[in-house]
Amino acid sequence: MDIANILLVSFDDPTLSEQLASHGYTPVAVPDVPSMLDAKVPFGLVLISQEAVGDAGAEDMERLYFASNGAPIAVYVNEPSAISPGLKRVLDEGTLERVYRHEVENGLATSRIDRMYLSSGLDAAVRAYRQREEDKELLGKELKLRNLVLEHERELGTDITGSITSGLVVLDVSGKIFLINEYARRLLRLSMGEMLGEPYRRVFPEKVSRFVENALKRAAGPWKRHEIKKITVDESVLEVVSYRMNDGAHNATGLLMLINDVTDQENTTAQLFRSEKLATVGTMLSGISHELRNPLSIISARSQMALKKTEWDREWAVKAFESIDTQVNRCAAILNSLLDYTRYKAVQQALHRVDEVLDETLTHVEYRSIFDEIRVERNYQAGLVVFGDRSRFIQIFLNVILNAADAMSGKGVLRLTTSSEETSTVLVEIHDTGCGIGVAAKDRIFDPFFTTKEPGKGAGLGLAVAYKIVQDSGGEIWCSSAPGDTSFFVRLPSGKRKVYDRKTAAG
């Protein structure tokens, strides 16, 4: 746009008009600010006298602004020293944004309108105006483009959140829903209604709400990065992970939640642990049938001898029946140990002597040929008790001991040591002289399905099961290993405190 028209406001100096005209500008004169609106032609610059501005109140300024219709406004000053206090105030306050300081001070603000000054001053003003018009146009284009990009990004975002097969929810710090994808709605069994901006509590199932409440509370703190929990919603097991969202200064800005359906996974894991349990029962069953064979053959032998005898002397009969009685009780004890084990549903929490539990575990496996050349050393500290479910303790030790026997390939020394580090825990060390665990294997030895055995020799669940039970029992399990010198340590909560608790409770 190239408009050479200059609007002269409240000037009665004809020489100024002439001078402007000689420079190729077309001066259009109006008497005052209100009459600016009457100007019939578009103009590229407003030139206003100092007096007119200096007298102008805020209202007049507004009007001037309005009337300039976006054109730059220049104030004509006779000489710099003559800048009136009114204009100075306007310049200082900067309220009159469109007064070009530059033009006023270096261009128009001279006593004589010098050709050069006037020219440069006006040209600059007009150039600045044109530049701004172009900028505006460019800005408009850019804005349009940006909107396009934004829209595209928004669509992409929706595509992404809609396509992932995980539930995705973003909450702001106050717990209002900022984003929720289709999958999350499906997993959380939510209706299709609009829920952006709704507080989570009004929308989510109760169990999930409780998790979110805690997660939000903790997200407000500085350290906790994420929370994870399995929540059952309508028979589905959902794994909900929440991440605290931060701004650059690590202030919490909200909560991002990922939700996955892990029902199948959970079932498989449960099944695997159950099948491992069955395998343990199988091991014990075959152990028990072996164990029964001994007393049964003694009972059979005793009674056959008795039946063959034609005359019984009392001493002989007492010996024979005592023997039969002892062996029958032994059979009953063997059967009971299996019953104790299989009655795992109702977990029987009780006090157990650690050495007894270890010895019982050994009876389940020692008959196996792999133990034929393994010497078992018992190094028990007297009087140690643990509190918990006996069958589960047996399962822990069974798995670790079988692992040790395998590691020794059936030849070596198995040393069982029990000790008490502090009154609240009991430490069981199961030491073997086997091949040891490689550095790479060490980190993974408690992972399900990790096995160094040849294919078909083991599913690799034994130690994982032991690990899980120890964890569930509030204990710890770890190992240290070198070739020929491997120890598994199991730390279990001691029964001592329980005894004490009971006594004080009773007292």
Residues lying near another protein in the complex (CB under 8 A) are found at 290, 293-294, 296-298, 300-302, 304-305, 319-320, 323, 326-327, 366-369, 372-373, 454-457
Rounded Cα distance between 337 and 283, Å, is 13
Rounded Cα distance between 87 and 101, Å, is 11
* Least spacing, CB of residue 244 vs another protein, in Å: 49
Measured from the CB atom, the residue of 88 and 378 that comes closer to another protein is: 378
Query: Are 385 and 496 contacting, i.e. CB atoms less than 8 angstroms apart?
Result: yes
Rounded Cα distance between 423 and 500, Å, is 11
DSSP 3-state of 385: strand
Measured from the CB atom, the residue of 35 and 304 that comes closer to another protein is: 304
Rounded Cα distance between 449 and 458, Å, is 9
* Least spacing, CB of residue 375 vs another protein, in Å: 8
* Least spacing, CB of residue 319 vs another protein, in Å: 8
* Least spacing, CB of residue 450 vs another protein, in Å: 18
Rounded to 5°, angle at Cα 425 from 448 and 347: 60
Three-state helix/strand/coil letters over 386-452: EEEEHHHHHHHHHHHHHHHHHHCCCEEEEEEEEEEEECCEEEEEEEECCCCCCHHHHCCCCCCCCCC
- Helix ranges restricted to H, 309-373: 314-342, 354-365
Measured from the CB atom, the residue of 228 and 305 that comes closer to another protein is: 305
* Least spacing, CB of residue 498 vs another protein, in Å: 33
Measured from the CB atom, the residue of 142 and 373 that comes closer to another protein is: 373
Measured from the CB atom, the residue of 455 and 507 that comes closer to another protein is: 455
Measured from the CB atom, the residue of 71 and 461 that comes closer to another protein is: 461
* Least spacing, CB of residue 441 vs another protein, in Å: 19
User: Which of 459, 290, 274 is CA-nearest to residue 364?
Assistant: 290
Percent of the chain that is helix, strand, coil (3-state, to 5)? 50, 25, 25
* Least spacing, CB of residue 325 vs another protein, in Å: 11
Measured from the CB atom, the residue of 12 and 454 that comes closer to another protein is: 454
Task: Classify strands 411-422 and 373-379 as parallel, antiparallel or unpaired.
Answer: parallel
Task: Classify strands 236-246 and 226-233 as parallel, antiparallel or unpaired.
Answer: antiparallel
Measured from the CB atom, the residue of 175 and 412 that comes closer to another protein is: 412
* Least spacing, CB of residue 481 vs another protein, in Å: 25
Close Cβ partners of 507 (under 8 Å, ≥ 6 residues apart): none
